[in-house]
Amino acid sequence: MRVLLIEDDHVLGAAIRDYVLSIGHAVDWMKRIDDARLAIAGVNYELVLLDLNLPDGRGLDLLRDLRSAGSTVPVIITTAQDQIAVRIEGLNSGADDYLVKPFDLFEMGARIAAVARRYGGSPAPEIAVAGVTIDLGRRTALVDGENASLTAREWAVVERLLARRGGIVTKPEIEDSLYAFGAEVESNAVEVYVSRLRKKLGRDFVETIRGLGYRVKA
């Protein structure tokens, strides 16, 4: 999943970025609203982590602009403002969830997973595909009752494919889920990860649609 982090606190921002990277998502970190707008204009993000108080404006104004423009990208607000009125304003402005600082990074990871499942059309964390039982909440995969151990990036590919079950996911879309701005994209990275998933989860788990991309059957 490609995540946009908008946070001006250097220490907290680095901690969030490193944690989200550790659970297999690509992260672009912006510290100003203007930079965030430019990033959003050029990248199809799957999640935004949005601070409310930023050096060049209010995060809520950016959120309202996104929703007014028709954007449905999931947004989780992260802020030190814990007043009920502020939470209500954020949710009414189109936020999907709200985290009050300081928060536990593992809780943030659970919130990210829950929002991703809702937007992927699978609110239940457990999904059965081609003889494999996937629990997105716990990040476990069972093949014939045996646990298959996946790396963080392999999970990123699985989640990207499951978010569009039955539909085709292109190679560039998978790359977007794996690499942030400035990262060197290996030409055969997607093929390598798909090959690994087939070895661990079975050849029928991912279908190659020649010339178009990859698909997990609905």
Give yes or no: residues 9 and 64 share one domain. yes
Give yes or no: residues 74 and 167 share one domain. no
| Domains contained in the chain, number | 2
pLDDT in tens, 143-199: 988 899 998 889 888 888 888 888 999 998 888 878 776 667 677 889 999 999 999
Asked which of 83, 101, 119 is the last residue of a domain, the reply is 119
Check residue 75 and give its pLDDT: 95
Asked which of 119, 135, 156 is the last residue of a domain, the reply is 119
Give yes or no: residues 111 and 186 share one domain. no
CATH code of the domain in which 71 resides? 3.40.50.2300
Give yes or no: residues 115 and 132 share one domain. no
| pTM more than 0.95 | no
Give yes or no: residues 96 and 26 share one domain. yes
Q: What is the mean pLDDT of the chain?
A: 88
Q: Tokens for 137?
A: 């909440």
Q: Tokens for 18?
A: 């490193």
Q: Which domain holds residue 7?
A: 2-119
Whether residue 205 is predicted with pLDDT greater than 60 in this model: the reply is yes
Transcribe 109-135 into DSSP letters. HHHHHHHHHHHTT--SSEEEETTEEEE
Whether residue 66 is predicted with pLDDT greater than 90 in this model: the reply is yes
Neighbouring-strand partners of residue 100: 79
Check residue 119 and give its pLDDT: 65
